[in-house]
Amino acid sequence: MNNDKSKRIVNSKVFRWMEGMLAIIPGDEGEWFPIRLTAPVAEGWNKKQIKNCLPDIEDPATIGCLLHLLGEQVDIDMIIEVMDNPPGDLVA
């Protein structure tokens, strides 16, 4: 898990927890515990700041939620077009 990227995402002004996201909660001894968010939990988390919890940006459901949040901010057709026709440096 990339904590730096996850922290940047959480600190974004457009980020919110969504149902289906996988949240990573820190333990007392440096370990991390995953929790899949249900709708009521996500709503509660958005009403108050949850300290040190991060989205698992390697989880497919979380990635889908993040793409949804991005799509609310920009033209989703543009995102799909870029994904279907990536620039040359993104092609293997």
69: nearest Cα among 44, 33, 42, 41 = 42
> Model-level pTM greater than 0.85?
no
Higher per-residue pLDDT: 73 or 57:
57
> In which domain, by residue range, is 41 found?
3-90
Count of structural domains within the chain: 1
Confidence category of residue 63, pLDDT binned at 50, 70, 90: very high
Higher per-residue pLDDT: 2 or 28:
28
What is the spatial distance between Cα 64 and Cα 41, in angstroms, rounded to a whole number?
18
Q: For the chain, give the number of residues.
A: 92
Whole-number average pLDDT of the chain: 79
Give the pLDDT score at 91: 45
Mean pLDDT of 25-51: 77
